[in-house]
Structure 1
Amino acid sequence: MGDYWGRSVRVVAGAAVLALALAACQRSAAEKPKGTAPVAPLAPAVGQKPDTAAVWRKWGLKPLVPAPAPPVDKPLELPRKGPAKVFESVPTKDRVVFVTLDDGQEKDPKFVEMMNDLRVPVTMFLTKDDIQDDYGYFKPLQALGDRIQDHTITHPVLPTLGLEGQKHEICGDRDALTEQYGTAPTLLRPPFGRWNSLTQQAARECGISGIVMWRASMQIHDFQYDDPKKELHPGDILLAHFRGPKQLKGETMTRMFADLLKQIERRGFSVARLEDYISVR
Structure 2
Amino acid sequence: MAAAPAPPADRPVKLTASGTVPVISDVPTKDKVVFITLDDGAEKDPKFVEMLTDLKIPVTMFLTKDIIENNYGYFKPLQALGNHIQNHTVSHPQMSKISAAKQKSEICVDQATLTQQYGTAPLLFRPPFGDGANTPTLNTSVQQCGPRAIVLWRETMQIHDMQYQTADKKLKPGDIILAHFRGPSELKGETMTAMFGEMLSRIQEQGFAVARLDDYIQAPAG
The count of aligned residue pairs is 218
TM-score (norm 2): 0.97
Deviation at 1:280, TM superposition (A): 3.2
After superposition, residues 20-31 of structure 1 pair within 5 angstroms as none
Structure 2 distance, partners of 1:83, 1:220, is 36
Secondary structure at 2:74's aligned position in 1?
helix
Secondary structure at 2:36's aligned position in 1?
strand
Structure 2 distance, partners of 1:201, 1:66, is 38
Q: Which runs of 4+ in 1 moved over 4 A?
A: none
Specify which of 184, 194, 217 is matched with residue 156 of structure 2.
217
AA at the equivalent of 1:245 = P
State which structure, 1 or 2, has the greater radius of gyration over its C-alpha atoms: 1
Deviation at 1:120, TM superposition (A): 0.2
After superposition, residues 105-254 of structure 1 pair within 5 angstroms as 105-195=42-132, 196-254=135-193
Structure 2 distance, partners of 1:236, 1:65, is 16
Structure 1 distance, partners of 2:69, 2:210, is 29
1:99 and 2:11 aligned:
no
Secondary structure at 1:211's aligned position in 2?
strand
Deviation at 1:80, TM superposition (A): 2.0
Q: Is the 8 A contact 1:83 1:200 kept in 2?
A: yes
Structure 2 distance, partners of 1:163, 1:280, is 26
Q: Is the 8 A contact 1:126 1:151 kept in 2?
A: yes
Identity percentage of aligned residues = 58
Deviation at 1:79, TM superposition (A): 2.5
AA at the equivalent of 2:9 = V
Deviation at 1:147, TM superposition (A): 0.3
Specify which of 214, 217, 220 is matched with residue 278 of structure 1.
217
Deviation at 1:168, TM superposition (A): 0.1
Partner of 1:77: 14
Q: Is the 8 A contact 1:222 1:259 kept in 2?
A: yes
Structure 2 distance, partners of 1:240, 1:149, is 14
Structure 1 distance, partners of 2:101, 2:150, is 18
Partner of 1:52: none
Structure 2 distance, partners of 1:93, 1:79, is 23
| Greater Cα shift, 74-83 or 198-207 | 74-83
Structure 1 distance, partners of 2:197, 2:166, is 22
Secondary structure at 1:169's aligned position in 2?
helix
Q: Which has the higher helix share?
A: 1
Deviation at 1:162, TM superposition (A): 1.9
Structure 2 distance, partners of 1:143, 1:211, is 24
Secondary structure at 2:30's aligned position in 1?
coil
AA at the equivalent of 1:219 = Q
Deviation at 1:219, TM superposition (A): 0.7
Larger RCO: Structure 1 or Structure 2 (Cα < 8 Å, ≥ 6 residues apart)? 2
TM-score (norm 1): 0.77
| Greater Cα shift, 99-108 or 162-171 | 162-171
Q: How large is the RMSD of aligned CA atoms in angstroms?
A: 0.7
Structure 1 distance, partners of 2:176, 2:112, is 25
Deviation at 1:243, TM superposition (A): 0.1
| Greater Cα shift, 76-85 or 97-106 | 76-85
Deviation at 1:182, TM superposition (A): 0.2
Per-residue CA distance 1:132-186 (angstroms, 9 max, x = gap): 0000000000000000000000000111122211110000001110010000001
